A and B are shown apart, each in its own frame.
Chain A
Amino acid sequence: MVERFEGVIDFLLGVLMVLIGLLPEVLAEPFEYQFMQRALLTSIVVGLVCGVLSCFVVLKRWALLGDAISHAVLPGVAIAYLLGWPFFIGAFIAGALTSLGIGFIERTTRLKSDTAIGIMFTAAFALGVVIIGQIATSTHLMHVLFGNVLGVDRAALLLTLVAGAVALLTVALGYKALFAYTFDEVHAQALGLNTAAIHYGLILLLTLTIVASLETVGIILVVAMLIIPGATAYLLSDRLARMIVWSAMCGVTATVSGLYLAYYFDLASGGAMVLVAAALFLLAFLLAPRHGLLAQLWQRRRAVEGG
């Protein structure tokens, strides 16, 4: 099974190298190294998946929930480290448990969702901090916290590829159901859709995306990649399908540019990626054709002159 995936990795890396061959010398040069080839493929997939998912995070107002799941992953990583498991299994279980716990508190008490989220994720994060305090600091854990795309090995690349493929395929096939659910939940129910399943399915996809992005941008910053591309795209488009495309482009631009910055200037890769994403948002915020600041000032001025 794994060998077959190995073949897929080699194939994708091969395609990537052909494409890189078309680039000018200056841009292509870093990818002579194998670790940079893996880093590039990981970055593209992470940017793509985070970009697509971030549309739903923005539209469902799940920014805090995304932050919560990404932080809640920490104890899972720590426990998996102690037990010698692959870290992503612990991360996924912890993230899923936390999101279920949030839903449970919300449904069974009178507390509102932001409070439920605040309780669950700070508690989970604190547990992670305590466990990590007990074990000797390890560079691996630091990488999970802050990400290090240059150190991605083949196993991590494989995980990112599989998680990314699952997330993208689900969104592509379930697009119509997701549209109905995101725009009007009650109407989606009236249409006979199982909105509870869609809700938790989307949260699981979010968890999967976060886990897949851990080694690239890290726990602390992954939520930025789940908010900023979607927010940027939201200012640029008035159709969900186009917003998803813009968001994915923004995500990939951020992760790949961040990778270059990390390589040339020896920066923390996660931080560099998020800074590029933030810069893209700033551009859209100022210059977006209809929802940007300048466009709105211009419209207001014209309205005043017209009146």
Chain B
Amino acid sequence: MTAGVTAGVTAGVTAGVTAGVGTETEAITAHDLYAGYHGVDAVAGAEFAIPRGELVALVGPNGAGKSTLLKLIMGLLRPRRGWLTIRGRPAQAARRAGEIAYMPQQETLDWDFPASVHDVVFSARYTRLRRAGWCRFVPQGWCARHHHHAVAEALAATGVEAYAGRHISALSGGQRKRVLLARALAQGAELLLLDEPLVGVDSASEAMIFEVLRDLRAAGRTVVLVTHDVAGARRHADRIILFNRRVIAMGAPDQVLRQELLLETADPHFARSLQEYL
């Protein structure tokens, strides 16, 4: 493996191609990662390895490149330099194989869309249906039973099974979060990326969300959540990544949330806002 890593590094640096190698035991491996838009690097020199089966919180100020990093992990953006792999495979290949579940911020969606809660959660099964061949071409009701079973389980785990038949516009903000979480669960992916899952969520919903995430970790899944809720992250996450264009610090919450590291994010307002958690 070591030889492979070295080869990947050399190739990545010299040729500028994304041909890196991580290891099977690492959910995400990034090396010397540079990427951005319009010639500005939103991510510059990020380097980290997230082991499988961990609950990791990605914390950083606004404009720190967290969304760009999520896009890199999903393989939706090509690094300008360096590489990123998912369990040793290029991110794009992992995404195409349906191994990455993504929970967006709910503001990005049209909640008047003509769909029920069940429809939305079922859509996450598409990757599995495709593997089953003909199933993706026929109406929902005709599909193999285990897909509906997976949807029912996800709905139950997030406590929205009672709303399964309801139109999505009839949901409250917290319920919408739960539905999007259920959709991410139903995909049955190894890696879950959650973009601000705790914004606008009351404490009961937050506790429920973390309970679901802990169950996932217990099942050996890897969860990465981008969050501003440092208190929640501190209480529940195995690991916090303090991020500002690169990894400032990574480790157990108590190690990372230290004064000198926070100041190193080069954003005094952000550091001050986190002071209360020290």
- A: residues with CB less than 8 A from B are 59, 172-177, 179-180, 182-184, 186-187, 189-193, 234, 237-243
Contacts and interface: CB of A to CB of B under 8 A. Distances in A.
A186 B96 CA distance: 13
Interface residues of B, number: 34
B70 to A, nearest CB: 10
B101 A190 contact: yes
B126 A177 contact: yes
B72 to A, nearest CB: 13
B7 interface: no
Contacts of B167: 238
A187 B119 CA distance: 14
Contacts of A59: 110, 113-114
Contacts of B114: 59, 234, 237-240, 242-243
B95 A184 contact: no
Contacts of B124: 187, 191
Nearest to A246: B114
A173 B116 CA distance: 21
A193 B123 CA distance: 12
Interface in B139-185: 139-140, 167, 169, 183
Contact of B123 (A183, A234, A241): A183
Interface string B92-128: 0001111011101000111001111001100110110
A238 B171 CA distance: 14
A193 B126 contact: yes
Contact of B126 (A172, A176, A237, A239): A176
A246 B100 CA distance: 36
A176 B123 contact: yes
B97 A183 contact: no
A110 B139 CA distance: 40
Contact of A189 (B74, B183, B187): B74
24 contacts: A59-B114, A172-B137, A173-B137, A176-B123, A176-B126, A177-B126, A177-B136, A179-B123, A183-B109, A183-B113, A184-B104, A186-B76, A186-B102, A186-B108, A187-B102, A187-B123, A189-B74, A192-B95, A238-B114, A239-B114, A239-B116, A240-B114, A240-B119, A241-B139
Contacts of B101: 190
Given A190-B102, A192-B96, A240 B127 contact: no
Please name the 3 residue pairs, one residue from A and one from B, whose CB atoms are nearest each other, closest first: A190-B102, A238-B167, A192-B96
Contacts of B123: 176, 179-180, 183-184, 187, 191
Contacts of B193: 190
A190 B100 contact: yes
B248 interface: no
Given A176-B136, A177-B136, A180-B123, A190 B74 contact: yes
B129 interface: yes
Contacts of B102: 186-187, 190
B12 to A, nearest CB: 24
Contacts of B140: 176
Contacts of B139: 175, 241
Nearest to B71: A186
B109 A184 contact: yes
Contacts of A191: 98, 123-124, 126-127, 187
A237 B95 CA distance: 33
A232 B32 CA distance: 53
Nearest to A193: B126
A237 B102 CA distance: 28
B182 to A, nearest CB: 13
Given A176-B126, A176-B136, A239 B96 contact: no
Contacts of A180: 123, 126
A200 to B, nearest CB: 17
B164 to A, nearest CB: 13
Nearest to A186: B104
Nearest to B100: A190
B25 to A, nearest CB: 23
Contacts of A172: 137
Nearest to B103: A187
A192 B109 contact: no
Contacts of A239: 114-116, 119
Interface string B62-99: 00000000000010100000000000000000011110
A192 B98 contact: yes
B95 A190 contact: yes
Given A176-B140, A177-B136, 13 more contacts: A59-B113, A173-B137, A174-B137, A175-B139, A176-B137, A186-B76, A187-B183, A189-B74, A189-B95, A190-B74, A190-B193, A191-B123, A238-B116
A62 to B, nearest CB: 13
Given A179-B115, A239-B114, A192 B104 contact: no
Given A183-B120, A240-B119, A176 B129 contact: yes
